[in-house]
Amino acid sequence: MQVAVVMGSKSDWPIMQETSALLDQLGVTYTVQVISAHRMPRELQQFGETAKDEHYQVVIAGAGGAAHLPGMIAANTTLPVIGVPIQTKALNGLDSLLSIVQMPAGVPVATVAIGNAGAKNAAILATEIVALRDSKVSQRLAEYRSAQTKEAIASNATLE
């Protein structure tokens, strides 16, 4: 597998499903699992410590609220970690965003937008990382980007 998609709770799946759907479309292999930073600390640490041995190239971690999952994974691996802030009821996901983006120097987490847009961008960013080593994925990514451009141009024509 090239990418690990993890989330803090099963309730994060509706957002993280956007990530997996786009990884499917781009032909990137991945696994999906729930690892709660607060309820499964030993499992989280073991996951982070062994992720490289499992041959992952990048980890996408979705989390809401206190959102410690992406940062704690990053603290336990040298793989790139992409954090997806999950929208919450209490603060609309701002709490998640700030928890993920405000990492101390030396433990980076690439952070994307809150919610669906972030989940999709995380998949694209992970694909860009995988594409550095995989020419087939690189080609599919180029085709995806080209299709986006054509779609945007076509939508412009419908406005006239």
Q: Which residues are annotated as a binding site for substrate?
A: 9, 12, 39
To 5 degrees, how large is the angle CA 84–CA 98–CA 48? 50
CA 68 – CA 36 distance, rounded (Å)? 9
Rounded to the nearest 5°, which phi and psi values hold at 3? Answer: -130, 140
> CA 156 → CA 143, 148, 151, distances in Å?
20, 12, 9
Residue 85 · residue 74 · CB < 8 Å:
no
Coil, helix or strand for 51? Answer: coil
Annotated binding site: 9, 12, 39
Specify whether the CB–CB gap between 110 and 83 falls below 8 A. Answer: yes
Q: What is the spatial distance between Cα 30 and Cα 5, in angstroms, rounded to a whole number?
A: 7
